[in-house]
Amino acid sequence: MRALRPALLLTAVVVAGGCSESEPTVEGRWYTASQVARGTVLYDQFCIGCHGVDAQGTAEWHKPLADGRYPPPPLNGTAHTWHHPLKGLKKTIEIGGVPLGGSMPAFGNQVSEAESEALISYLQSHWPDPVYQAWLQRGGLQ
């Protein structure tokens, strides 16, 4: 995935200048390729330091630390992120993970709703199809 980042960054720059509202979504997904490209840039800016290069999170993410807070979970579809609807994922980006027992800071004053959606699209681009389909069946878009 790291090898693709330069190409994705270039795509983000190109797309940002000429994105059309009629861009098709990624097959079987709610988001567009340009959202994923923008999300890549945002992920590198805000998330990579805690959640890792490939959104793999911390190996022991489900075990509380000595202070009682939980470490960064994987966001790549191997942890609980896919259990949360789009609205809940946006809310977590906005208010952070502290109210949920984690240590993720709030980003509500740093990212717009469109940027939040781009971040989520980037994360979901890591989710295998069965995980994404399970998310949809749980009402992920509601």
pLDDT tier, 51 (very low <50, low <70, confident <90, very high otherwise): very high
- Kindly state the DSSP code that residue 106 receives in the 8-state scheme: P
Is the per-residue pLDDT at 17 higher than 70? no
Contact assessment for residue 117 and residue 31, using Cβ atoms and an 8 Å cutoff: yes
- State the pTM of this model: 0.83
More confident residue, 140 or 11: 140
Q: Where are the domains of the chain?
A: 2-137
pLDDT at 15 over 70: no
Average pLDDT over residues 107-131: 97
Buried b / exposed e along 42-62 (16+ C-beta atoms within 10 A): bbeebbeebbeeebbbbeebe
The CATH superfamily label for domain 2-137 reads: Cytochrome c-like domain (1.10.760.10)
> What is the model's pLDDT at position 21?
66
The whole-number pLDDT of residue 109 equals 93
pLDDT for the residue 16: 44
Question: Residue 87: how many CB atoms within 10 A of its CB?
Answer: 12
